[in-house]
Amino acid sequence: MRELLIRNGRVVDPSTQRDGIADVFIRGGNIVAVAPNFDAAGAKVFDASGLVVAPGFVDMHVHLREPGFEYAETIESGAKAAAAGGFTTICAMPNTSPVNDSATVTSYIVERARRHAIVKVLPIGAITKNSAGEELAGIGSMKNAGIVAISDDGKPVMNARLMRRAMEVAGSLGLPVINHCEDLTLSAGGDMHEGAESVRLGLRGIPSCSEDVMVARDILLAEVTGAHYHVAHISTHHSVQMVGFAKSRGLAVTCEATPHHFALSDRRMIPYDSNYKMKPPLRGTSDAEMVLDGLANGTVDAIATDHAPHAGSEKMQEFERCPFGVIGLETAIGLAFRDLVHPGKIGLSRLVELFSTAPARILKLNAGTLRPGAPADLTILDTGREWTYDVNKSFSKSRNSPFDGERFKGGPVATIVNGAFVWRADSAA
Amino acid sequence: MFAGLLGIEGLDRRVIEAILDRAKDFQAVPGQPLKRLDALRGRMMVNLFFEASTRTRTSFEIAAKRLGADTISITAAGSSVSKGESLVDTLNTLGAMHPDVIVMRHAASGAPHFLARHLPVPIVNAGDGTHEHPTQALLDARTILDRTGKLEGLHVAIIGDIAHSRVARSNVHLLSKFGAKIVLCGPASLLPKQLAEMAPGVTLTTDMKQAIKGADVVMMLRVQLERIHEPASPAGEYFAFYGLRLEHLQLARPDAIVMHPGPINRGRELSSEVADSQRSVILNQVENGIAVRMAVLERILSQ
C-alpha cells in the first residue's frame, strides 16, 4: 500500500490538541500515526521542516455552478481552485440549474465529483423545491443521496412558518439548516451596503437590518425547534452579537464569515467595480471589525469563502445590473493570515479550527482531524511564504475577485486528499 | 490632466474656478452675430443618451457646435442598445470610430465611471442614475455667481427628493468646496441621514420653512417619479409639504433667488407665481448651461 511520511513539520490539530513538531505517517489514504521521529522506512517522504501541517481545510460554502452554469465554473475547475487554495473538502450550494432539490440532482453532483473533482465535494440540498420558498424539498431522500446540510442559499427562506418546518425536519435528520439571511422586503433592489458610501455613490442600499431581522427570527425558531441552525456569511455587527447571545443560551446556533467580509468594507471598494459586489454586501468598518472579533473570540465558528464564480461578461456591466458574488477559494488563507494571524488576533491553532475543525464539526464530517484512522486529508502551510495573487492564473473558470494583485505573506504550499498530493505550490507555477 | 468629467466630487476647486471663469467669456457668444467659434474645428463629440433628455442633450450639442466641433447624437431607442447590445460593446464600437469625446447620460449610477476604466476616450457625465450631474452643478454655480458674486458663506437650501437626485449630489460637492452652507430638505424617506456625511457644511431638515429661513438660494428639485421604486408617501402629501409657494420666499433673504434644474412641473415643486417671479433664475440656468458646457468641452478637447 502507498505510504507517505510527512516529516518534521509543526503539526497543528485542534481536534487532538496537538501543536508541536511531529511526523505524520499515512498509509492507504488514512492517517496511521502522528508522532515525533516516526520510523517509516520505505515510505515516500515529504520534508515539512519549517512548515505547518494541519488537518485538511473544509470550505462549507462554495458555488460550483454545475449543473447549469458550466461556463462560469464546473465541479472540476472549482475543485482545482479549492486544492490550490488549500482546501480538501468543499460543500456545494444547491443554486444550480436545476436546483439541487432532489436525490436525482444530488446523485448527479456526487457522481460528477467522484469522476472529476480532485478534492472532496459534498452537496448541500435545497430547503424548498426549486429554492422557491413555497414547499419543502425532499430532504430525507437527498440526505440518503449524500447532502450534508440544507440551504436555499442565494435566497432566504422568507416564510417563517416554512423555516420552522424545515428546522423540524432537518433536526430529526440531524442536518444543519443554513440560511442566507436577508429580509427581501428590506433589502429590495439594493446593490451595496446602505450607509454613507451608498448615499454618496447614488446606489440603492441593502441595510444591515435586512440581515439582522432574519437572524433574530431564525434564532427564535431554532430555540423552538431545537434544530442546529447555521447563519451563512454573517456580515453585520448586530447579527454577530445575536449569535453570541444564542450561544450564551446554549442553543445549537453557529455561523460562518467570509474572508471578504472581514478583509474589506464599503469604504474600501473601488466605486462601481462589480468585483466588490456580493451578498451580503461589504458592510461598514465596524461590522468588519465585529466579524474579526467574532472569529477571534469564538462567536463566529468558521471561515467559508462563498466562492461565487461569474463569467466575465456578466460582471462587465453597469454595477446595478451585475450579479452578486466573488470568487474566493484561492485567497482565503492568505487573507486570514493578513488580517487575523499576523496582527496577532488569533494563533495558528485557531486558524486551523476556523478552516478545518469547526466546519467539519458543524457538518458532522469525517474530516478536520489527524486522528489515526481518519482520512489522510491535509493542508500544509508556510507562514512566511510571500506570494502575489494573479487572478488570471486562477484555476477557477471565472475572474471576479477584488484581490487581484494582492501580495500575501503566508499561505498553503501543498494539499493532500486521501494521502495523495492534489496540489503543490512548487509545481503549480 | 483633465481626461473627462465624471463628477464634481473628485474635482479640484481651482479647476472648477477655471471652468466657471471661462464660461463667463462664453456667455457673450449668443449676442454676437456670428455664434460659431473655431476652437474645436475638426473635433468630434458623440452624445450618447441612454435616458430621455431634451435640454441637456441639446445644450451639449449647441455648446459643441458653437465651438466648431462636429456632433452626433445617439439615443438608446433606435440604436443597437435596443437590440440587446451590452454597454461595453456599444462603447467599444463607438470608441473604434475615434470620437474625441463622448457625452453620456445613463440611468445606472456609475455607468460612465465603469466605462472610463475600459475606454481610452474622454467621457463627460451628463447624468448617471442617482449619482452625479456635474455640468448641472457647474451651470448652477455660474448662475449663482452671476447674481451674488461669491459662493463662500452663502446659505443654499436644496429642497425635494434628495435621495434620488444627482443634481443635489453634484451641487453639494461643488458648493461645499467653496464654503457654502447647504441645507438639504425633503421628506424623511427621501432624505437619508448619511447625506450629512457627504461633504462639509451640510445639514438636513424635513421642515421646509426651516430650510428656507435666511436662504440666499432656494434650489428646488424635480420629483423623480421614474427613479422612485416605491411610493414613500402619497403624492398629494408631498406637494402640500414640499412645494414652493410665494409665501415661503418671505422667509428667505430679500434678494434670494429660486433655481430649478428643469423641466419644471408648475403647481408641483413650485407654484406658477414663483416660476414666473423676478426671483426665478430658471432661464438663466438654461443659458448658462451652454456657456459652461462650452468651457468643459474646450478644456477637454483643446489638450
CB contacts under 8 A, A 138-177 vs B, are none
pLDDT tens string A64-77: 999 999 999 999 99
Q: Find chain B residues with C-beta within 8 A of A200's C-beta.
A: 9, 169, 194, 197-198
Nearest CB to B130: which of A196, A202, A313? A202
Q: Find chain A residues with C-beta within 8 A of B129's C-beta.
A: 202-203, 320
Contact across the interface for A272 and B109, Cβ inside 8 Å: yes
Contact across the interface for B169 and A200, Cβ inside 8 Å: yes
Residue with cell 465611471: B113
Residue with cell 472540476: A76
Beta pairing, strands B101-106 & B123-128: parallel
Beta pairing, strands A420-424 & A407-417: antiparallel
Does A318 contact chain B (CB < 8 Å)?
yes
Q: Is 0.85 exceeded by the ipTM?
A: yes
Starting at the edge strand found earlier in the chain, the sheet holding B123-128 runs B70-75, B44-49, B101-106, B123-128
Query: Comparing B267 with A410, which gets the higher pLDDT?
Result: A410
Q: Find chain B residues with C-beta within 8 A of A190's C-beta.
A: none
Question: Quick one: closest CA in B to A271, which residue?
Answer: B110
Q: How many residues does chain B have?
A: 303
Residue with cell 474566493: A328
Enumerate the β-bridge partners of residue B49.
B75, B105
Q: What is the mean pLDDT of chain A?
A: 97
Predicted pLDDT of residue A99: 98
Q: Is the pLDDT of residue A389 over 90?
A: yes
Where along chain A do its domains lie? 3-53+375-384+396-427, 56-362
Predicted pLDDT of residue B231: 62
Grid cell locating A249: 443560551
Predicted pLDDT of residue B34: 83
Query: Which amino acid is present at A18?
Result: R
Does A428 contact chain B (CB < 8 Å)?
no
Residue with cell 474579526: A292
Domains of chain B: 13-132+286-301 (3.40.50.1370), 134-281 (3.40.50.1370)
Q: Is the pLDDT of residue B2 over 60?
A: no
Predicted pLDDT of residue A226: 97
Predicted pLDDT of residue A2: 86
Question: Quick one: closest CA in A to B110, which residue?
Answer: A272
Grid cell locating B43: 473635433
Q: Find chain A residues with C-beta within 8 A of B90's C-beta.
A: none
Question: Among positive and negative, which fits the CA dihedral A325, A329, A331, A335?
Answer: positive
Task: Give CA torsion, residues B273, B277, B280, B283, to 10 deg.
Answer: 100
- What element of type H or E holds A65? none
Q: Is the pLDDT of residue B29 over 90?
A: no
Does A185 contact chain B (CB < 8 Å)?
no
Question: Quick one: closest CA in A to B7, which residue?
Answer: A201
The torsion angles phi and psi of B292, rounded to 5 degrees, stand at -65, -40
- What element of type H or E holds A355? none
Mean pLDDT of A156-185: 98
**CA A421 vs CA A56, A379, A428: distances in Å:** 12, 10, 12
Contact across the interface for A188 and B130, Cβ inside 8 Å: no
SS (H, E, C) B94-154: HHCCCCCEEEEEECCCCHHHHHHCCCCCCEEEEEECCCECHHHHHHHHHHHHHHHCCCCCC
pLDDT tens string A273-286: 999 999 999 999 99
Mean pLDDT of B207-235: 82
Does A188 contact chain B (CB < 8 Å)?
yes
Question: Quick one: closest CA in B to A316, which residue?
Answer: B88
The torsion angles phi and psi of B45, rounded to 5 degrees, stand at -110, 130
Contact across the interface for A202 and B114, Cβ inside 8 Å: no
Predicted pLDDT of residue B30: 84
Residue B265: alpha-carbon gap to chain centroid: 17
Beta pairing, strands A378-388 & A407-417: antiparallel
Query: Comparing A177 with B269, which gets the higher pLDDT?
Result: A177
Confidence of residue B119 (pLDDT cuts 50, 70, 90): confident
Q: Give dist(CA A146, CA A113) in Å, integer.
A: 12
Predicted pLDDT of residue A96: 98
Residue closest to A191 by CA, chosen among A266, A135, A303: A266
Contact across the interface for B113 and A272, Cβ inside 8 Å: yes
CB contacts under 8 A, A 253-282 vs B, are 271-273
Query: Which amino acid is present at B294?
Result: M
Predicted pLDDT of residue A429: 45
User: Which residues have a Cβ under 8 Å from the Cβ of B258 and sit 6 or more positions away?
Assistant: B218, B219, B220, B244, B249, B270, B274, B277, B279, B280, B281, B282
Fold (topology level) of A3-53+375-384+396-427: Urease, subunit C; domain 1 (2.30.40)
Q: Is the pLDDT of residue A309 over 70?
A: yes
Angle at A292 between CA A186 and CA A241, to 5 degrees: 50
pTM of the model: 0.94
- What element of type H or E holds B20? helix B13-26
**Which of these ranges, A53-67, A113-127, A248-262, B218-232, has the smallest mean pLDDT?**
B218-232
Nearest CB to A201: which of B106, B109, B195? B109
Is A326 exposed, middle or buried (CB count within 10 Å of its CB: 0-12, 13-18, 19+)? buried
Would residue A293 show up in a list of annotated catalytic residues for this protein? no
Does A371 contact chain B (CB < 8 Å)?
no
Q: Find chain A residues with C-beta within 8 A of B51's C-beta.
A: none
Residue closest to A280 by CA, chosen among A260, A300, A296: A260
pLDDT tens string B276-299: 999 999 999 999 999 999 999 999
pLDDT tens string B122-151: 999 999 999 999 999 999 999 999 999 999
Mean pLDDT of B235-245: 81
Residue closest to A153 by CA, chosen among A101, A87, A217, A113: A101
Predicted pLDDT of residue B132: 98
Contact predicate A214/A266, CB 8 Å: no
Question: Quick one: closest CA in B to A190, which residue?
Answer: B229
First to last CA, chain A: 30
Nearest CB to B198: which of A194, A199, A320? A199
Contact across the interface for B194 and A199, Cβ inside 8 Å: yes
Residue closest to A211 by CA, chosen among A191, A229, A185, A244: A185
Contact across the interface for A317 and B86, Cβ inside 8 Å: yes
Predicted pLDDT of residue A373: 97
Interface test with B, best of A184, A199, A203 (most B CBs within 10 A): A199
Nearest CB to A202: which of B118, B131, B230? B131
A to B CB pairs, distance under 8 Å: 71
Predicted pLDDT of residue B1: 38
- CATH assignment of A56-362? 3.20.20.140
Give the CA count within 13 Å in the CB-facing half-sphere of B10. Answer: 13
Contact across the interface for B229 and A271, Cβ inside 8 Å: no
Predicted pLDDT of residue B302: 82
- Of A152, A153, A306, A339, the catalytic one is A306
Confidence of residue B233 (pLDDT cuts 50, 70, 90): low
**Which of these ranges, A82-96, B41-55, B218-232, has the smallest mean pLDDT?**
B218-232
Q: Give dist(CA A185, CA A354) in Å, integer.
A: 33
Q: Find chain A residues with C-beta within 8 A of B198's C-beta.
A: 196, 199-200
Contact across the interface for B198 and A196, Cβ inside 8 Å: yes
Q: Find chain B residues with C-beta within 8 A of A272's C-beta.
A: 109-111, 113-114
Q: Å from A266 to nearest chain B CA?
A: 14
Contact across the interface for A202 and B129, Cβ inside 8 Å: yes
Q: Å from A286 to nearest chain B CA?
A: 16
Predicted pLDDT of residue A316: 87
Confidence of residue B266 (pLDDT cuts 50, 70, 90): confident
Confidence of residue A315 (pLDDT cuts 50, 70, 90): confident
